[in-house]
Structure 1
């Protein structure tokens, strides 16, 4: 698996991946125009995970690349085929990119409390829960929902990667 930055040509993949059943409820979805605007935004980056055959496996969407304090926000993490280990491998590569190439000192994200798959992934990768953003999310049914906020520091990620290398995960 490898990552590459997305381009306008990737919009069909981005849209089809985030339009899988249930994803709109758990992670949301952008319109084509929103994807175009995000791709044109110098403060944002889509990192697409590609398999050995070059096909897209998923993507991570980062925001705030220009943050004065080097806090990057992960807005969206989506895989084309859940529960096959793609998310973990993709996120490892994305976090390596964010900390080494994008200059992040801290990466933060939010997720719905009921998105247990996301929480398990982020916890496995070393993210720490910071708190609850009460009624911060407008759901598709018109109700409001809480968001769980988590973060990972560059120093924590460096320690995790050393341990992973020692046990042969890298």
Structure 2
């Protein structure tokens, strides 16, 4: 059985290793020094776990009251559908706070797998952050932004 839980100090190595993998460098800016530990200390880092191992992680930003953002989400072994289940559980968790009205996130414009997951979960494309970060190869990346509102999420959940 998989579950969502807050990341702990001992999870920092897993989060850092997945976040900084070469295959993720195309879609995720690298963490700043100390960023992983800071997310854990603030209670802004989550793990998606199986009984025997972590499957993925996410970090969140609390932009404004009622407006949460998922800053990073990555899976240990992408492509098996676990990411959609993880994102759904994370959004459920964020909307469990009655003050949260909106959850937003973005990705690299060529991360088609992520955008398909966002669409399947009901996220709406809001616009494009043009050339929002530079990849290790020096190319600038556009980042489409998506969000879902509490009422939309609850309507989908039935």
TM-score, scaled to structure 2? 0.91
Measured against aligned partners, the alpha-carbon deviations of 1:110-136 in whole angstroms (never above 9, x if no partner) come to 111101111011111110000111122
Aligned residue for 1:62? 60
- Does the 8 Å contact 1:137/1:144 carry over to 2? yes
- Does the 8 Å contact 1:108/1:150 carry over to 2? yes
Measured against aligned partners, the alpha-carbon deviations of 1:84-131 in whole angstroms (never above 9, x if no partner) come to 111011111101000014742100111111011110111111100001
Aligned residue for 1:25? 26
1:54 and 1:155 mapped to 2: Cα distance? 35
* Aligned Cα root-mean-square deviation (Å): 1.7
| Residues 31/131 of structure 1: CA separation in 2 closer, same or farther (3 Å cut) | closer
| Residues 21/59 of structure 1: CA separation in 2 closer, same or farther (3 Å cut) | same
Aligned residue for 1:11? 12
Q: Which runs of 5+ in 2 are unaligned?
A: none
Paired residues in the alignment total 157
1:11: how far off? 0.4
Aligned residue for 2:156? 160
- Does the 8 Å contact 1:15/1:29 carry over to 2? no
1:55 and 1:129 mapped to 2: Cα distance? 33
TM-score, scaled to structure 1? 0.85
Question: Relative to total residues, which structure has the larger strand share, 1 or 2?
Answer: 2
From 58, 68, 72, the equivalent of 1:76 is 72
Please give the secondary structure, in 1, of the residue aligned with 2:110.
coil
Aligned residue for 2:49? 50
1:62: how far off? 0.7
1:60 and 1:102 mapped to 2: Cα distance? 21
